[in-house]
Amino acid sequence: PVRKLKEGAFSVTPPEEQKRAIDSNIDGKKSTVTITVVGASGDLAKKKIFPALFALYYEDCLPEHFTIFGYARSKMTDSELRNMVSKTLTCRIDKRENCSEKMEEFLKRCFYHSGQYDSQENFVELDKKLREHEAGRVSNRLFYLSIPPNIFVDAVRCASVSASAASGWTRIIVEKPFGRDSESSAALTKSLKQYLTEDQIFRIDHYLGKELVENLSVLRFSNLIFEPLWSRQYIRNVQLIFSEDFGTEGRGGYFDHYGIIRDIMQNHLLQIVALFAMETPVSLDAEDIRNEKVKVLRSMRTLRIDDVVIGQYKSHTKGNVSYPGYTDDKTVPKDSLTPTFAAAALFINNARWDGVPFLMKAGKALHNRRAEIRVQFRHVPGNLYNRSIGTDLDMATNEFVIRVQPDEAIYLKINNKVPGLGMRLDRSHLNLLYKARYLKEIPDAYERLLLDAIEGERRLFIRSDELDAAWSIFTPVLKEIEEKKIVPEYYPYGSRGPVGAHYLAARYDVKWG
Ligand code: NDP
Ligand code: BG6
């Protein structure tokens, strides 16, 4: 049975019975899908891509005929790849469960080919192997580029010229970073489009595959109570908070070239803003949704330097433990000014959101790990309770929180009377805590996105005009920070980050949640 995504969005099937099935076009006996992980020896492939593919296999979501190929320069045999991959596979439903049989079956479908990323010859060899596995069926090929960005175009050229599917579709998933600014991103798009059509390019932003980010549209558009409040009339400010309690360990070399604004804000947080703030799309069709996202992104004011605070973590000792500073990483230049923390105030110049600050805060090596959307509502006009019993003004402000991770939850802070004979107000939570409501483990973002790419569902991938609009907002400020060599505010590893973020928020009468 085929469950198309759109029907599924409004399905009332109990969660444990819901299962995504693949597109009928590739479910037949006569066709096959090959997924080639380019850069299979790397960190992302091991950590996320192979485990996500296994989870999909475990859930019976992959087509009947499928093959997985790893491709990289490292020399490996099929069994060495299987051995490497097996170390990061976990059982999908319950990590304590024994799913070794399923793992064995999955690993038997994994193969490896070693080659250079810019060698047509090596890709022709890969093509030959893929054909053998396809065994005359209609072939559909998905290439996942899990490699550093400087070799994206070479790999795309070789894959499309020498290893495209002969009969079915060829799609390429591209990992971020999609450039460093408007110009380099446009140049990358232009190069990719020499070999691929826009429909073949799946630009991944894994935050779009997170359960609570996907739920944003469901919340907004399928509940009567939210949408009427979703505007400047009732919302005072919106906060997008990303924080990690570890530094750039192991990825300093990559990170130093990009910094936190490009690593987190321009993509993950901005994508959330677009979904949060867009107008109602004509339908749930990928193009209709992406049209609305582009519209709202294009309505955003270009970010100004006065509206940005940057920081960088420094070493800190707590008890007997010492935590390294950002520049202690050997792959980071000692005099690096790259921000590992940033706070920014963004504005949308349209009728719905005029004047509402969208505050973003993203940082590494902070005191906790969380990703949240916080919506602070305006004060109740002429609030009886403020007047009569002199409660704190803030008391009357509702706050709606979508906790993307960890402990996924959606909760609304309301004011409530403390039970008893007196009249004392208390702030309580109406709380939808996912682990209390749903027994099933939440799928990893990469599972959803890989399955979507196999199904040809583009809703959660970034279209090139979206990308252009996103870069336009951030490029001038990124250039100014770099050209003026603006010194970041230093904060200790494990702290709450630079105090400048509080001043920025206070300028817009906001307190961080
Ligand atoms: P890696 O640095 O681990 O690189 C992946 C593979 O590419 C390596 O195993 C290596 O394979 C090959 N490679 C590395 N450097 C070079 C080079 N200079 N020239 C040619 N080949 C090279 O990357 P990740 O796995 O961490 O990330 C892959 C992509 O995903 C990147 O674009 C990254 O920005 C993005 N990403 C990564 C995340 C993560 O958590 N790791 C998170 C989000 C995005 P071999 O030597 O065998 O050819
Ligand atoms: C990646 C960033 O895109 O997202 C990393 O490059 C960051 O720096 C990661 O750590 C966070 O993803 P998640 O899913 O762990 O929140």
Instruction: For residues 167-186, give the mean pLDDT.
Output: 95
CB-based contact 512:345 (threshold 8 Å): no
Residue 505 vs residues 282, 307, 346, 508: alpha-carbon distances, Å:
35, 9, 11, 5
* 372 C-beta closer than 6 A to ligand 2: no
Q: What is the mean pLDDT of the chain?
A: 91
Predicted pLDDT of residue 439? 86
Distance from Cα 511 to the centre of ligand 1, integer Å: 39
CA 348 to chain centre: 22
* 263 C-beta closer than 6 A to ligand 2: yes
Q: How many CB atoms lie within 10 A of CB 36?
A: 24
Ligand nearest to the CA of 179: 1
Q: Could you tell me the pLDDT band of residue 396, with boundaries at 50, 70 and 90?
A: low
Tokens of 275: 């979904």
What confidence tens digit (pLDDT) does each residue in 103-128 have? 999 999 999 999 999 999 999 999 99
**Residue whose structure tokens are 């096959």:** 32
CB-based contact 20:8 (threshold 8 Å): yes
* 73 C-beta closer than 6 A to ligand 1: yes
Distance from Cα 243 to the centre of ligand 2, integer Å: 10
* 147 C-beta closer than 6 A to ligand 1: yes
Tokens of 305: 């330097």
| Rounded Cα gap, residues 472 and 342, in angstroms | 18
Sequential DSSP letters for 354-394: TT--EEEEEESSBS--EEEEEEEEPPPTT-HHHHHH---GG
What confidence tens digit (pLDDT) does each residue in 64-90 have? 999 999 999 999 999 999 999 999 888
| Rounded Cα gap, residues 10 and 15, in angstroms | 12
Q: Report the nearest atom of ligand 2 relative to the CA of 248.
A: 8
Residue 263 vs residues 175, 273, 446: alpha-carbon distances, Å:
12, 16, 18
Closest CA to 275 of 364, 362, 210: 210
**Residue whose structure tokens are 């400047």:** 232
Distance from Cα 365 to the centre of ligand 2, integer Å: 13
Q: Could you tell me the pLDDT band of residue 231, with boundaries at 50, 70 and 90?
A: very high
Q: How many CB atoms lie within 10 A of CB 239?
A: 22
Sequential DSSP letters for 400-458: EEEEEESS-EEEEEEEEEPSSSS--EEEEEEEEEHHHH--SPPPPHHHHHHHHHHHT--
Q: Is the pLDDT of residue 10 over 80?
A: no
* 72 C-beta closer than 6 A to ligand 1: yes
Predicted pLDDT of residue 78? 97
CB-based contact 313:325 (threshold 8 Å): yes
Instruction: For residues 346-365, give the mean pLDDT.
Output: 98
The CA angle 504-510-511, to the nearest 5 degrees, is: 95
Predicted pLDDT of residue 409? 98
CB-based contact 445:207 (threshold 8 Å): yes
Q: Report the nearest atom of ligand 1 relative to the CA of 46.
A: 25
Ligand nearest to the CA of 175: 1
Q: Could you tell me the pLDDT band of residue 391, with boundaries at 50, 70 and 90?
A: low
CA 125 to chain centre: 34
Q: Is the pLDDT of residue 218 over 60?
A: yes
Ligand nearest to the CA of 210: 2
What confidence tens digit (pLDDT) does each residue in 267-284 have? 999 999 999 999 999 999
DSSP 348: B
Residue 395 vs residues 29, 110, 378, 389: alpha-carbon distances, Å:
62, 57, 11, 12
Predicted complex ipTM: 0.97
**Residue whose structure tokens are 């490996």:** 76
